[in-house]
Structure 1
């Protein structure tokens, strides 16, 4: 069969087939969904952690140094995500995506973001200074978080496929992670409004988040923060 005919057949089949959908209570694994119109629906929070200015890093440094920055950032982010109960769903170059479920999903995701900021500020950048005394590079990053219903399906072809996360949280978290790195964490109002008070107000009464308009998107209220949370802090 010619490729054009094969593609027409497969596209028509996807649009024609009835979806088999079910509510999920865990993050689905790749092999828990069929390549056909099979989906799991989740009430979930999505986190994207993105290394800022990675193009400039790659253009201005030798590949080995850039790789060390990538590796240390993604390693710290992944360990913190798992500690906070998140499930890593994708690595995409210089960023990582994670999904959180359960009643405390927004607090866990926000605490993850603040802990990633701690790791970047107090672990990775000091390690760069220690190993490379003359290096002027300073790691910056941005984390975006949103919460919504998600429709999870398997996409691709046999032997080369992955899960696709359809829903506002996946899109908004990615967009928030692309905002300016003057702030390290951006969350939607839906996430902020359900945070544990410990993640809203510091012990001395200072607010940990600032409300702003998302003026380069749809003018909704979002929250940003430069706070960090010690990875060993007892909560």
Structure 2
């Protein structure tokens, strides 16, 4: 069978096969999702943490320096995701995707975003300045968060495959990372904002202030919320 014939056969098999779905409460392990048209459905909150201007970083600095920035940023993001109960589900170059489940999924994801902002501003950038005092480079990044239903299927071929996360939450969270306007580093949808507990919505030592500012996402024509606050990790 030629490769063209094989592709035709496999595409038709995928298109003709009926989907079977199972409701899930936790993030499924890849081994427990079959490669055929079988999927898990879950209510979850998706977080994307994305390093800004990575093309300029790679083009304008030594490869080893860019690698150090990638490694340190993704390391701190992953540590904070795990510390707040999130499951790391994918890496895509300079960004990481995580999924939060459970009754506090929106507040936990949002807390993570604010903690990533703290760690970049107050730990990573000062460390880079100390190590490389002559460089003007400073890490800029953004976190996007949305919540909703996810349809989780396995894609690829036998021996080389991964899970694909289909749903608005994954799509919007990834797109929100590209906003990064006026120093705002954390963006959440209105659905997330409405479900936040008080500690993830209000900040300040004495007078509690809303940490989130309503903002029109012009590309999508919807209101979202953005924040330039940070949350010190315990």
- Same fold, judged at TM 0.5 (above): yes
TM-score range, shorter chain: over 0.9
CA–CA separation in structure 1 for the residues paired with 2:13 and 2:7 = 10
The separation in 1 between residues aligned to 2:84 and 2:208, in whole angstroms, is 25
Moved over 6 A (4+): none
CA contact (8 A) 2:74 2:94 kept: yes
Pick aligned residue for 2:226 from 218, 224, 227 = 224
Give the equivalent residue in structure 1 for 2:72: 72
Quick one: distance in 1 between partners of 2:38 and 2:209?
A: 47
Q: Which residue of 2 aligns with 1:190?
A: 191
Instruction: Give CA deviations for 1:189-215 in whole Å, capped at 9, x if unaligned.
Output: 000000011111224222200001111
After TM superposition, give the deviation of residue 111 of structure 1 in Å. 0.2
Matched, 1:205 2:208: yes
| TM-score normalised according to structure 2 size | 0.97
Aligned to 2:92: 92
Are the counterparts in 1 of residues 141 and 180 from structure 2 also a CA contact under 8 Å? no
Q: How does 1:23-34 map to 2 (within 5 A)?
A: 23-34=23-34
Q: Deviations along 1:109-152, whole A, 9 cap, x unmatched?
A: 00000000011011000000111111100100000000010000
Whole-angstrom distance in 1 between the partners of 2:203 and 2:142 = 21
Aligned residues: 231
Deviates more, 1:24-33 or 1:37-46: 24-33
Q: CA RMSD in A?
A: 0.8
Per-residue deviation at 1:57? 0.8
Alignment correspondent of 1:161: 161
C-alpha displacement of 1:72: 0.4
Q: Distance in 1 between matches of 2:26 and 2:215?
A: 33
Q: TM-score, normalised by structure 1?
A: 0.96
Offset of 1:45 from its aligned partner? Answer: 0.4
- Following superposition, the deviation at residue 180 of structure 1 comes to 2.5
Range with bigger deviation, 1-10 or 105-114: 1-10
User: Superposition pairs for residues 168-179 of structure 1, below 5 Å?
Assistant: 168-179=168-179
Give per-residue Cα distances to partners, 1:29-73, cap 9 Å, x unaligned. 111111100100000000000000111111110011111110000
Which deviates the most, 119-128 or 172-181? Answer: 172-181
Instruction: Structure 2: give runs of 5+ residues left out of the alignment.
Output: none
Report deviation, 1:174: 0.4
